[in-house]
Amino acid sequence: MSVPRPPSTDPAATRRAILDQASALLAESGPDALSMRRLSQRIGASTIVLYTHFRDKQAILNELYVEGFERLRDDLRRVPEHADPLQYVMDLGRAYRRSAVDNPTYYQLMFSRCVPGFDPSPSSREVSKQAFGILRSGVQRCMDAGVTPAGDAAEVAHTLWGTLHGLISLELFGYLPPQVCGEARLEHALRVMRDGLCHPTTQETSR
């Protein structure tokens, strides 16, 4: 029996096709649909071709996880560093939402652990920290400029990240009321966070 040939003899193109189809399967049918057999059918190749490029399904998921965080990191890096550091942090929040909305399948894999048993490798987790580092640096700029009170930039950035992540997750997973615009709700959250950064509570300033 002849072995089906992949759509391209270029190894990089074949690898890209495998990742694209894995992402599409997750988006279309959920984590249970992702299997090496179904992937081989979608790219028109034998499972041997898949195992030539990836050790197993977990390796494919790990690659998608890394790519998702690389996309987020690159989207944040493209945000111009506004002269007003607080405005820059708010723009990072907007870019975070745009990146999530543009890459919902990746976002789900990155943050929801939608595939049972999948655990990113230690090196992949290091890549995942790079996007957060951009936000932390933005918060540090605000503190250095005296726009916000001095403090632990990582702690503040984690709070901002968690707020954004929660709100964006509600939007992507369909938990916002139908009459609520995700972008408008994000802008409201950004205003609240901006006011909180500029005018911390008495308890916070006395810590």
As a whole number of angstroms, the distance between CA 43 and CA 74 comes to 28
Q: In terms of Cα–Cα distance, which of 37, 91, 17 is closest to 99?
A: 91
CB 22 within 8 A of CB 39: yes
* pLDDT per residue as tens digits for the range 24-34: 888 888 777 88
Percent of the chain topping pLDDT 90: 67
pLDDT digits (tens, 9 = 90+) for 89-106: 999 999 999 999 999 989
Asked whether the predicted pLDDT for residue 1 surpasses 70, the reply is no
CATH classification code of 11-54? 1.10.10.60
Domain range 68-200, its CATH number among 2.102.10.10, 3.30.830.10, 1.10.357.10, 3.50.50.60: 1.10.357.10
Tell which residue, 139, 147, 131, 108, has the closest CA to residue 29. 108
Q: Say what the pLDDT of residue 55 is.
A: 93
Query: Does the pLDDT value for residue 70 go beyond 70?
Result: yes
pLDDT band at 107 (very low <50, low <70, confident <90, very high): very high
Q: How confident is the model at residue 201 (pLDDT cuts 50, 70, 90)?
A: low
List pLDDT tens digits, range 131-143: 999 999 999 999 9
Closest CA to 53 of 3, 6, 18, 4: 18
Q: Where are the domains of the chain?
A: 11-54, 68-200
DSSP character string of 20-89: HHHHHHHHHH-GGG--HHHHHHHHTS-HHHHHHH-SSHHHHHHHHHHHHHHHHHHHHHTS---SSHHHHH
pLDDT range class, residue 7, cuts 50, 70, 90: low
